[in-house]
Chains A and B, each alone.
Chain A
Amino acid sequence: MVAAFDEMNGFGGEVRAPYRALAEWLGVQHLDTLRQKSAEAEVLFRRSGITFAVYGAEEAGERLIPFDILPRIIAAEEWRRLELGIEQRVRALNAFLYDIYHRQEILKAGKIPEELITQNSAFLPEMIGVDPPRGVYSHIIGVDLVRTGENEFMVLEDNTRTPSGVSYMLENRETMMHLFPDLFSRNRVRPVENYPDALLKTLESVAPGNLDAEPTIALLTPGVYNSAYFEHSFLADQMGVELVESSDLVVIDGLLRMKTTEGLKRVDVLYRRVDDDFLDPLVFDPTSLLGVPGIFDVYRSGRVTIVNAPGAGIADDKAIYSYIPAIIEFYTGKQPILANVETYNCREPASLKYVLEHLAELVVKEVHGSGGYGMLVGPKSTKDQIETFRAKLVANPSNYIAQPTLSLSTCPTLADSSVAPRHLDLRPFVLIGDQVRLMPGGLTRVALKKGSLVVNSSQGGGTKDTWVLQE
Chain B
Amino acid sequence: MLGRTANDLYWLSRYIERAENIARLLEVGYRIVLLPREGEGFHEEWRSTLESAGCLQGYVQRHGELLTQNVIDYMLFDTSNPSSIASCLASARRNGRAQRTALTREMWESLNSAWLEFSAIRPATVTSNSLPELLDWVRSRSALYRGALLNTILRNDTFYFSQVGTFIERADSTARILDVKYYHLLPSSEMVGSEKDNYQWAALLRSVSAHRSYRWVFKDHYRPLKIADFMILNRQMPRSLRSCYDELTAALRDLAVFYGVRHDCQMTAESTRDLLLEADMHNIFQSGLHEFVQDFIGRNNKLGNEISTAYHFSD
Contacts and interface: CB of A to CB of B under 8 A. Distances in A.
Given A49-B100, A224-B97, A248 B108 contact: no
A261 B1 contact: yes
Chain A CB count within 10 A is highest, among B3, B100, B116, B157, for B100
A244 B100 contact: no
28 contacts: A49-B97, A49-B100, A49-B108, A224-B94, A229-B97, A230-B100, A233-B101, A234-B100, A237-B100, A237-B101, A243-B100, A244-B2, A248-B3, A248-B4, A258-B2, A259-B4, A259-B315, A260-B312, A261-B1, A261-B2, A261-B3, A261-B5, A261-B6, A261-B259, A261-B311, A261-B312, A262-B259, A262-B261
A318 B116 CA distance: 41
The secondary-structure label for the interface of chain B is helix
A243 B2 CA distance: 9
A158 B107 CA distance: 37
A260 B2 contact: yes
Contacts of B81: none
Contacts of A259: 2-4, 312, 315
A185 interface: no
Interface string A21-62: 000000000000000000000000011110000000000000
A229 B101 CA distance: 11
Interface in A380-402: none
Interface string B81-111: 0000000000000100110110001001100
B112 A49 contact: yes
Contacts of A247: 4
* Closest 5 A/B residue pairs (Cβ): A233-B100, A237-B101, A261-B311, A236-B101, A261-B6
Contacts of B261: 262
B151 interface: no
Contacts of A262: 259, 261, 312
A260 B3 CA distance: 5
Interface in B97-132: 97-98, 100-101, 105, 108-109, 112-113, 116
Interface string B219-243: 0000000000000000000000000
B312 A263 contact: yes
Contacts of B312: 259-263
Nearest to A47: B109
A46 B116 contact: yes
Contact of B109 (A48, A234, A244, A263): A48
A87 interface: no
A242 interface: yes
Contact of A243 (B101, B105, B109): B101
A298 B113 CA distance: 43
Interface in B268-315: 311-312, 315
Nearest to B110: A47
Interface in A217-266: 224, 229-230, 233-234, 236-237, 242-245, 247-248, 258-263
Contact of A48 (B5, B105, B157): B105
Interface of A: 46-49, 224, 229-230, 233-234, 236-237, 242-245, 247-248, 258-263
Contacts of A236: 101
Nearest to B113: A47
Contacts of B1: 242, 260-261
A243 B105 CA distance: 17
Interface string B1-28: 1111110000000000000000000000
Contacts of A244: 2
Given A46-B116, A237-B101, A261-B311, A242 B108 contact: no
B2 A242 contact: yes
A46 B3 CA distance: 29
A41 to B, nearest CB: 15
Interface string B122-159: 00000000000000000000000000000000000100
Interface in B162-213: none
Given A49-B108, A49-B112, A242-B1, 20 more contacts: A46-B112, A46-B116, A47-B109, A47-B112, A47-B113, A224-B94, A224-B97, A224-B98, A236-B101, A237-B101, A243-B101, A245-B4, A248-B3, A258-B2, A259-B4, A259-B312, A260-B2, A260-B312, A261-B3, A261-B312
B148 to A, nearest CB: 13
A348 to B, nearest CB: 47
Nearest to B161: A261
A261 B97 CA distance: 20
A128 B116 CA distance: 50
A261 B6 CA distance: 7
A230 B98 CA distance: 9
Contacts of B6: 261
Contacts of A242: 1-2, 5, 101
B266 to A, nearest CB: 14
A342 B128 CA distance: 68
Nearest to A239: B101
A193 to B, nearest CB: 15
Chain B CB count within 10 A is highest, among A224, A244, A261, for A261
A12 to B, nearest CB: 45
A224 to B, nearest CB: 5
A230 B113 CA distance: 16
Chain A CB count within 10 A is highest, among B2, B97, B105, B157, for B2
A410 B68 CA distance: 60
